[in-house]
């Protein structure tokens, strides 16, 4: 842990005990499907973009809590390949929000030694958004703290297709040079995915009560523990993160073996 539990969770609800956290069983990699911004806004008769803006505080809270408690990788599902189907006004607003937020937050993230990277087909993003994430990467790439992985224009099926394409390219190049292609296995194929060198998630959190993976990290979540909550994303905070963490620590992970 990077901070004492009492400092990370200074004012817990009566039903939560931060001292119950086992410091030796902090998940290395937590992935989050941030769902419910639109429903949060609708309940308040607000524009959907107001819901997305409100969700930024939940992102901040989750990043800080995860980093402070010792999570090494935090992957947040910011924008899927399917999200382009949303109304143009919402998509444009989201892309502007991503750029503004990243530029506003990167200095503090850098001070906390957080490394910021993206996964997905980022070449299709508007230049302003792409440049903001590129700037964040350049500023933080040598940091040794938690890695914040922002999945943007990301789709799990596309990632697998892109991985197969990259592997086949390597195989053709090896054959053309008179060599032997790298033998394909789960381990070697993992190196052709966007998440090469990143361990698979230990815990996947999904908010707003939905029970689906939504094309997120399809290869990587084979043995990931799922935690689903009815809480809408803008209402998710460090104490909801603590609930997910304690739930995770109460499970027996067997990875197909007998317990």
Rounded Cα distance, 143 and 96, in Å: 26
What digits encode the pLDDT tens for the residues 32-76?
999 999 999 999 999 999 999 999 999 999 999 999 999 999 999
| Catalytic residue flag (residue 35) | yes
The model's pTM: 0.94
Confidence (pLDDT) at 258: 56
3-state secondary structure of 200: coil
- The string of pLDDT tens digits covering residues 83-94 is 999 999 999 999
pLDDT tens-place values along the chain, 259 residues long? 889 999 999 999 999 999 999 999 999 999 999 999 999 999 999 999 999 999 999 999 999 999 999 999 999 999 999 999 999 999 999 999 999 999 999 999 999 999 999 999 999 999 999 999 999 999 999 999 999 999 999 999 999 999 999 999 999 999 999 999 999 999 999 999 999 999 999 999 999 999 999 999 999 999 999 999 999 999 999 999 999 999 999 998 776 665 5
Inter-residue long-range contacts of 132-138, CB under 8 Å, 24+ positions, other chains counted: 132/98, 132/99, 132/100, 132/102, 132/103, 133/98, 133/102, 135/102, 135/103, 135/106, 136/102, 136/103, 136/106, 136/109
The answer to whether residue 83 is catalytic is yes
Q: Which of 2, 47, 83, 237 is catalytic?
A: 83
Residue 100: alpha-carbon gap to chain centroid: 19
* β-sheet bridge partners, residue 204: 31, 226
């Amino acid at each position: 842990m990077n901070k004492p539990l009492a400092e990370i969770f200074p004012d817990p609800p009566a039903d939560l005990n931060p001292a119950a956290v086992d410091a030796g069983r902090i998940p290395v990699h937590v992935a989050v499907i941030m769902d419910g911004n639109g429903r949060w806004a609708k309940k308040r008769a607000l524009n959907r973009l107001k819901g997305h803006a409100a969700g930024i505080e939940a992102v901040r809270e989750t990043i800080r809590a995860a980093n402070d408690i010792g999570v090494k990788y935090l992957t947040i599902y910011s924008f899927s390949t399917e999200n382009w189907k949303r109304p143009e006004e919402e998509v444009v607003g989201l892309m502007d929000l991503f750029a503004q937020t990243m530029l506003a937050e990167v200095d503090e993230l850098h001070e906390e030694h957080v490394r910021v990277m993206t996964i997905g087909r980022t070449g299709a993003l508007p230049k302003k958004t792409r440049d903001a994430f590129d700037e964040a990467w350049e500023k933080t790439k040598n940091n040794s703290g938690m890695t914040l992985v922002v999945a943007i224009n990301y789709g799990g099926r596309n990632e697998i297709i892109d991985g197969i394409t990259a592997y086949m390219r390597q195989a053709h190049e090896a054959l053309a040079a008179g060599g032997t292609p790298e033998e394909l296995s789960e381990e070697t194929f993992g190196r052709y995915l966007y998440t090469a060198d990143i361990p698979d998630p230990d815990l996947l959190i999904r908010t707003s009560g939905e029970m689906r993976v939504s094309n997120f990290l399809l290869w990587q979540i084979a043995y990931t523990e799922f935690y689903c909550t009815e809480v809408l994303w803008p209402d998710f905070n460090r104490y909801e993160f603590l609930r997910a963490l304690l739930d995770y620590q109460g499970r027996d992970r067997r990875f197909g073996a007998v317990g």
